[in-house]
Amino acid sequence: MNKILKLIALICLLSSCNDFLDEKSNNRLAVPVTIDDLQALLDNQTFINTLRTPSILQSSADDTFLLEQNYNGLSAENKLFYAWKPFDYFYSNDWSAAYQVIYTANYCLETLENVPKNVQNRQVWENVYGSACFLKSYYYLGLLWAFSKEYDPKGNNDSRGIVLRSDSDFNVPSIFFTVGECYDEVISLAEESLGYLPETPLVKARPSKLAAHSLLARALLSMGMYEDALTHAEHALAIDDSLIDFNNADDGINIDAPTPFTKFTKETIFYSEMTQKFTLHRASTALIDTVLFQLFEDGDLRRRAYYQPSGKFYKFKGTHSHSIQSLFSGLTTAEMYLIRAECRVRHSESQAAMNDLNRLLKSRWDESIPYVEKIGDSKESVLKMVLDERRKELAMRGIRWSDIKRLNREGHEIQLTRKVGGETFVLQPQSEGFILPLPRDLDNFL
Amino acid sequence: MRILIVALMMLLFQLNSDAQTKNISISGQVLSEDKQPISYVNIRAVKTNQNTVTDERGHFLLQLPLSDTVLFSAVGFKRHKMWLDSDRKDILIVLDRLENVIDEVEVNTGYQKIAANRINGSVTVLDNEAINRQVSPNILERLNGITNGLTVQVGRMNNNPQNKTNITIRGYSTINGPLDPLIVLDNFVYEGDIENINPNDIESVTVLKDAEATSIYGARGGNGVIILTTKKGNAEGPLRVSVSINTAVSEKPNLYALPEMNNADYIAVEELLFEEGFFDRDLTRTTFPPISPIVYMLAKKKQGLLSDEEYASERKFYTQTDFRRQYTDLFYHNTTTSQYYVGLTGGAAKTNFAFGAGHNRMGDDYGQPTNKTNLRSHFDIQLSKKIKLSLSGLFTSEHAKSGQVASYEQLRRIGNRQSVPYLSLLDEGGEEMAFYKDYSPFLIDTIGKGLLMDWRYFPYSDAKFTDFNSRLSELLGNVALEAKIVDGLDVSVYYQMQDQNINSERLYGQDSYYARNIINRFSQIDESTGRVTYNVPGGDIVDRSIASIRSQSLRTQLNFSKSFKDHRILAMLGMEGREVKNVGESWTHYGYRKDPLSYLPVDFANIYNSLPLRGFDYIPGAPIIEPTTINRFISMYGNFNYTYLDRYSLSGNIRRDGSNIYGVSTNDRWKPLWSLGLGYDIAKETFFQGNAFDRLRLKATYGFSGNVDLSRSALPIAAFGNNPPDVGGLPSASIGTLNNPRLRWEQVRQINMGLDFAINRLGLNGSIEYYQKDGTDLYGPTDYDYTTWGGAQTIVTNVAAMEGNGIDLLLRYLWKKRDFSWTSTFIYNYNLSKTKKYYESSRRSALSRIIVQSGTRITPVEGFPLYSLAAYRWGGLDAQGNPQGYLEGELTTDYAALTNAVNELGEETESIRYVGPTTPTSFGSWQHEFRYKGFALSFNLLYKMGYYFRKSSINYSSLINFGFGHPDYALRWQNPGDDTHVPSFEYPLRMSGRDNFYAGSDVLVRNASNVRLQFVNFSYNLDALRDVSFFKDASIYMNVSNLGLIWVDNKEGLDPDYADVIAPRRSWSIGLRTSF
């Protein structure tokens, strides 16, 4: 009988050895499992930073318009799109581009569970963990701005948000969460990353504490939670408050060049680019909104740096990247100044807000023309000045769409209109059209 | 060969002494208990194998050469034994009906041995005699034509790299997965080279077909299972020695079976193309591509280097050469294969053993020998009353020699011209002619100014300078321990280790073209001094590689067997673990000399400015380590078989598999494969007694098995690289293949219903089975929720499906009169496998996707057979010899419009039609064996019906651009009124799509139905020997195999299975089998 017991023990042993099945079936297969593999996945700028944030909301925003002849050259679907009407589009698109980063981040988080943190790998481990959390938060926010209703800090946020995923297994079905849940996830992931990321990054394509604070400031501002946004903008600026002096070529600016900036500028906190899946705003055809262009004053070097003439109008060239095709959508110190200014004025610290504004404007001002300090006489005028400045500084960064939604919720009544020939398309404030359509080929799955 | 002659002479001598034997004559009648005569009772003498059967009234007459035990057996009756030593007349033999006695035929399922009549599943058992009717040294080849439900598909494949055998059992169960059935040697899956198994060592072969039979092999049994059972010794049996010798000779390959354009036509086309300036580009290219002899001569003529008369004489020479004849005479040999085998079995009280030693010597088409030796041993040792130990080992050693003879196809490929038919190896004077393999003669004849080695290629003598050797050794060791625990319950543990190593060495002598070419390429000439630097040193070049497979398996199993009253239970529970590891590497030595050993290092790391074209090349042959593959499996399985009253039976299997190929969630989840079977033996019912049927058994099974594609992985596969320096230069990685934790085996569901019957009175027995075989969870692309990844629009996962169904029918008829008997076995199989579900992203019509394939590859289109054929409707040739199709009811030569219509509308247009499958839907064999006394003549007819193929024909764009010719060129339309369907030749080609339309048109479709004679076997049993010598059994035989088609359903007489390739050669063999 003893033998049988031993045999049974052997059988049990065999059945429990799942490690036996963990062996890779072919050693040529490069399966990322080590901490360095994971860091390499997150360092792949082609898959993590470039051409990743939604471009659909830039094509929909009022930064640009099309001339009639260019409109006429659009496909039927793009014509609907231009008029803010529902339209069909398919893979590949903004959704797939952003969720590919989410997948990679989830894969890293899952794999980390099998890589114990120790003294040797602690720094990389924490960077991978923090980066994965940050990237999920960052790309969720971009998707939320495009495909969901804006957050209401006082109201209910039960409308449909986006898909939140915590698993790299495609067999696990995708589920939509509410706007409230999604924004909570964005905030909590970014806050989680704060505890792990280094203060400043090795390269600006990598997340950092600075970037996480900036992301929180950006996210909270778009949620209308100005006090919290202020705190994070202040944290960010405490780490880095440098601005490019547009007069100083040493700061990495070449104002009259076709692309005045390089890939990582002095102001870049975290680098990302919009996809090229939607092209209504593409500089080859799209012209800069005349109202926007008029906002720039004569001594403002941004007019020269950001725009070049195109017939009677102007087109955009001022992206903080190496190429005009790749529109920068990342975080900058200038954006932090603007968030701090806006939060301060809303918190009735108008003077402090004006200081931020003047600090920023002065760095953009032609030194051959004397700069006159701006003075705001009321909270309202200061806010208007800050918001105008925000529109000017952050044009073509994929931010305007969210600003319109947020400000309209607060009663700004920004109505979008596009005119083509005799036709006028209008997008009314609070319209459903502000929630951009999802790709058609996901209908079967979502 | 000498041994064979000696043995035959010895046998003849023995024959002469035949006259001395005495003769015993017995006659009588066989009756059942109720005094009914029993017909077709098999009566056999144990020692001499003399046999007969009873007639309709149960009468028999048997002549015995010596005193012997005679066995009387009939299906449904207990066997009766009787000792006879003198003449007896009118003896009465009464056979008891078999009621509670089980059939003694046992089926080895690889996991257990079970009585044939208790199996509800579908299995075919081939005994030693059936296997030995054919003489191939490959055991699997011997199964063709004699196994119900098994077919050998010729030239059919899918995209899977793992297919080796071409065997399908009951059609297909997969689309992209592996197509081969699982091979099991004794207890374990065999993943070595099947040629390493000597058929003489095989006692029997069991083929498992339905779900009940294969589900015990779980996720790997979906394509069916072939179990090879080796010979074992008999406990307490006397020492028995068996010897077999066999020699086979095959014809040379028939190159004339290949479609070839005649020399004059081909030369005329080249002349025309040359005139039109087609070759100007090749002749002026700085890469100096090789050019065909005629183009070379024409170019020389144009340059004034050759006079018109000289050209005319060259042209005449090439027009008259017969390259096929030259190649056959100079290179091909008749192949001879000799097989020698000695086996020993025996046993004592507590041990028994079996040894086998075999030696095969095979020559290939080029006369190069392969020598193979097999040694096998098997021991059973009864350690105690309750414990038995078995040890066995199989050792194979093979040495194959081959030379570097360029194949016929290789020699005809000259640069861009893929099949130049008019070549010549020898000139008018019988001297060898130079070939220009890699560069134009204009370059080769001038380069190097005499400083380099000769850069020309002489195919005939080149073979002498190369020596290729491949040595294989395989060791397979088994240990088995079987112990009885209590009555009815025992436990067994099996362990197997396999180690196969292949060492290959390819030696290119310094004078071989290969070596000269490499040495020349990496030579550097200093123009000013005339000095040559050799980066690849002179001397021989040797390429070496090693590859090995190592596997280990362990199985533990509990067996339960008990019967009480009318109930019988047989059950088992087991667990198996297995690992298979493949490794390999290769490297090259330069300046090699074997004796005294010397070799020189070369620089593999740097790039060289190579000759003759100043290219930039690395010296080839840097060491390579092949990726290691490790496949691991863990399985748990169990089965039961319950019989009540020996009539009603219920059986079931369950098996769970885990593998490192599947995803983690698949391994973690309990999703077993299972089957259930029912059996009902009507003939054993009391109410059925006395009926015509002596056996009538109904059976039905339902269950699942699977297919594992070893080339897949559930893991995410990444590519590694670096970011550009300007953005930090950090290492980067990206996942290109998505992880799929639920990746699993492909699943095969099978329903089987069958009826086994025997009517002994008529000498008839057989079986008929109907089955449905559906593959689900097959690997295929699919669209998916890309929220989960985003990296691609589709992913490959377990989504596709196919369905098949079929009939397996077997009828065996025995007719006997006195010393003469005729056994006829008829096998009819029907099978059709269709794609049920497959993702297609293009919006093209089904038929437009089928028509681009010639039917040799699985083309998954929903609703159509896996292998299928479509054709354009044919409207004849127009007044200019252009092929015409139909478009909207009108004849047309607008091929683009026709193709567009087909792409969009497919079957709705009348431009195209679906033809049918390209694998046989009805197939089988009809075997006959005639016996008269010791003589036996058997032959087998194979038939395949219900499928189609496309005849090849001339394709003008291939002819012009790639030099592919076809004999149909001679039949082309040339003048109005020509009665032909071959379109006219035009240059330049004006109408795009014309060739493709013709190639896909109806006029080239043929019905592939055919009947071929597989083998004829004649043997003589030297019964007479028994009495005078210690021989127990001896027979000599002659066999002719691959006798070819005897009927085919196309008027050209084309062989549909071997269209445009060389069919298996006719082979004659002679042999001797004996035992003592």
- The letter for the amino acid at B709 is D
B429, B534: one domain: no
Residue B930 in 3-state DSSP?
Answer: strand
Residue numbers of A between 8 and 37 with CB closer than 8 Å to B: 10-11, 14-15, 17-18, 20-32, 36-37
Chain B residues with beta carbon closer than 8 angstroms to that of A30: 717-720, 733
Distance (Å) of CA B503 to CA A249, B16, B138, B471, B917: 67, 50, 22, 5, 42
Residue of A nearest to B709 (CA): A25
**pLDDT confidence of B236, banded at 50, 70, 90?**
low
Q: In the block, which residue shows the tokens 């025997």?
A: B758
Tens digits of residue pLDDT in B237-249:
678 888 999 999 9
Q: Has residue B725 got a pLDDT over 90?
A: no
Q: Tally DSSP H helices, then E strands, for chain A.
A: 17, 10
Chain B residues with beta carbon closer than 8 angstroms to that of A110: none
- The letter for the amino acid at B268 is A
B714, part of any domain: no
B477, B501: one domain: yes
Residue A170 touches partner B, C-beta closer than 8 Å: yes
Lowest mean pLDDT among B555-559, B658-662, B1065-1069: B658-662
Q: Do residue A203 and residue B786 have CB atoms under 8 angstroms apart? A: no
Residue A72 in 3-state DSSP?
Answer: helix
B416, B537: one domain: no
Which two structure tokens, joined as six digits, stand for A391? 């529109």
Question: What's the CA gap between B773 and B771, in Å, rounded?
Answer: 6
Domain boundary pick from B995, B1018, B1041: B1018
Chain A residues with beta carbon closer than 8 angstroms to that of B627: 26-28
> CB-CB: which of A14, A27, A100 is closest to B627?
A27
B886, part of any domain: yes
Q: Do residue A172 and residue B788 have CB atoms under 8 angstroms apart? A: yes
Maximal CA-CA distance, chain A: 101
Distance (Å) of CA B42 to CA B73, B81, B763: 5, 12, 10
Are B333 and B366 within 8 A, CB to CB? yes
Give A287's strand partners. Answer: A65
Structurally, chain B folds into a number of domains equal to: 4
Question: What's the CA gap between B533 and B451, in Å, rounded?
Answer: 11
B956, B879: one domain: yes
B269, B339: one domain: yes
Q: Do residue B785 and residue A169 have CB atoms under 8 angstroms apart? A: no
What is the CB neighbour count within 10 angstroms for residue A364? 25
Q: What is the DSSP letter of B37?
A: B
- The letter for the amino acid at B665 is S
Residues 6+ away with beta carbon under 8 Å from B9: none
B90, B67: one domain: yes
Question: In terms of Cα–Cα distance, which of B870, B803, B802, B793 is closest to B838?
Answer: B802
Q: In the block, which residue shows the tokens 């906190």?
A: A269
Residue numbers of A between 80 and 109 with CB closer than 8 Å to B: 91-92, 95-100, 103-104, 107
Q: What is the pLDDT of residue B1029?
A: 59
B826, part of any domain: no
Tens digits of residue pLDDT in B945-983:
999 999 999 999 999 999 999 999 999 999 998 999 999
Domain that holds residue B417: 264-293+301-346+411-433
Q: Do residue A43 and residue B728 have CB atoms under 8 angstroms apart? A: yes
Lowest mean pLDDT among B3-12, B272-281, B710-719, B1064-1073: B3-12
Question: What's the CA gap between B549 and B14, in Å, rounded?
Answer: 48
**pLDDT confidence of B612, banded at 50, 70, 90?**
confident
Tens digits of residue pLDDT in B292-302:
999 999 999 99
**pLDDT confidence of B1028, banded at 50, 70, 90?**
low
**The dihedral sign for the CA sequence A198, A199, A201, A204:** positive
Which two structure tokens, joined as six digits, stand for B457? 């290629």
What value does the mean pLDDT take over residues B81-105?
A: 69
B419, B515: one domain: no
Lowest mean pLDDT among B24-33, B369-378, B434-443: B24-33
Q: What is the pLDDT of residue B348?
A: 80
B193, part of any domain: no
Question: What's the CA gap between A47 and B145, in Å, rounded?
Answer: 57
Q: Has residue B100 got a pLDDT over 50?
A: no
Lowest mean pLDDT among B326-335, B600-609, B966-975: B600-609
B807, part of any domain: no
**Inter-axis angle of helices A400-409 and A379-393, to 10 degrees?**
160
CA angle B951–B955–B961, rounded 5-degree value: 145
Q: What is the pLDDT of residue B609?
A: 85
Q: In the block, which residue shows the tokens 């089926």?
A: B107
Q: Has residue B234 got a pLDDT over 80?
A: no
Distance from CA of residue A141 to its chain's centroid?
7
Residues 6+ away with beta carbon under 8 Å from B692: B759, B761
Residues 6+ away with beta carbon under 8 Å from B79: B71, B72, B73
Q: What is the pLDDT of residue B66?
A: 77
Q: What is the DSSP letter of B776?
A: E
Residue A312 touches partner B, C-beta closer than 8 Å: no
> CB-CB: which of B631, B636, B728 is closest to A205?
B728
Tens digits of residue pLDDT in B630-679:
989 889 999 999 999 888 999 999 998 888 888 877 777 767 889 999 99
**pLDDT confidence of B16, banded at 50, 70, 90?**
very low
CATH code for the domain in which residue B73 is found: 2.60.40.10
Question: What's the CA gap between B101 and B107, in Å, rounded?
Answer: 16
Radius of gyration of chain A (CA): 24
B325, part of any domain: yes
Please state the ipTM of this predicted complex: 0.90
Radius of gyration of chain B (CA): 33
Distance (Å) of CA A337 to CA A224, A235, B912: 17, 11, 70
Which domains are assigned to chain A? 35-442 (1.25.40.390)
Mean pLDDT, chain B, integer: 87
B342, B449: one domain: no
Question: What's the CA gap between B1069 and B150, in Å, rounded?
Answer: 25
**pLDDT confidence of B76, banded at 50, 70, 90?**
low
Distance (Å) of CA B655 to CA A390, B3, B496: 66, 51, 21
B473, part of any domain: yes
Q: What is the DSSP letter of B865?
A: B
Q: What is the pLDDT of residue B662?
A: 81
Chain B residues with beta carbon closer than 8 angstroms to that of A26: 627-630, 713
**pLDDT confidence of B1025, banded at 50, 70, 90?**
low
B428, B526: one domain: no
Q: What is the pLDDT of residue B852?
A: 86
Are B205 and B134 within 8 A, CB to CB? no
Question: What's the CA gap between A278 and A51, in Å, rounded?
Answer: 11
HEC assignment per residue over B944-960: EECCEEECCCCCHHHHH
B318, B426: one domain: yes
Maximal CA-CA distance, chain B: 111
**pLDDT confidence of B1030, banded at 50, 70, 90?**
low
pLDDT truncated to tens, each residue of chain A (446 aa)? 454 455 444 444 455 456 777 777 877 778 899 999 999 999 999 999 999 999 999 999 999 999 999 999 999 999 999 999 999 999 999 999 999 999 999 999 999 999 999 999 999 999 999 999 999 999 999 999 999 999 999 988 999 999 999 999 999 999 999 999 999 999 999 999 999 999 999 999 999 999 999 999 999 999 999 999 999 999 999 999 999 999 999 998 999 999 999 889 999 999 999 999 999 999 889 999 999 999 999 999 999 999 999 999 999 999 999 888 899 999 999 999 999 999 999 999 999 999 999 999 999 999 999 999 999 889 999 999 999 999 999 999 999 999 999 999 999 999 999 999 889 999 999 899 999 999 998 988 88
Q: What is the pLDDT of residue A1?
A: 46
Residue A75 touches partner B, C-beta closer than 8 Å: no
Q: Do residue B733 and residue A32 have CB atoms under 8 angstroms apart? A: yes
Q: What is the pLDDT of residue B71?
A: 82
Distance from CA of residue A338 to its chain's centroid?
16
CA A364 to chain B, closest CA, distance in angstroms equals 26
Domain boundary pick from B1018, B1041, B1067: B1018
Question: What's the CA gap between B122 and B150, in Å, rounded?
Answer: 12
| Dihedral, CA of residue B851, residue B856, residue B860 and residue B862, to nearest 10 | 60
| Dihedral, CA of residue A78, residue A79, residue A84 and residue A87, to nearest 10 | -50
B415, B500: one domain: no
Question: What's the CA gap between B42 and B39, in Å, rounded?
Answer: 9
B233, part of any domain: no
Q: What is the pLDDT of residue B107?
A: 80
CA A153 to chain B, closest CA, distance in angstroms equals 28
What is the CB neighbour count within 10 angstroms for residue B76? 19
Chain A residues with beta carbon closer than 8 angstroms to that of B738: 170
**pLDDT confidence of B5, banded at 50, 70, 90?**
very low
Which two structure tokens, joined as six digits, stand for A259? 């692309």
Helix (H) or strand (E) holding A56: helix A56-60
B325, B465: one domain: no
What value does the mean pLDDT take over residues B528-556?
A: 91
Q: What is the pLDDT of residue B1027?
A: 58
**The dihedral sign for the CA sequence B161, B162, B167, B170:** negative
Q: Tally DSSP H helices, then E strands, for chain B.
A: 18, 52
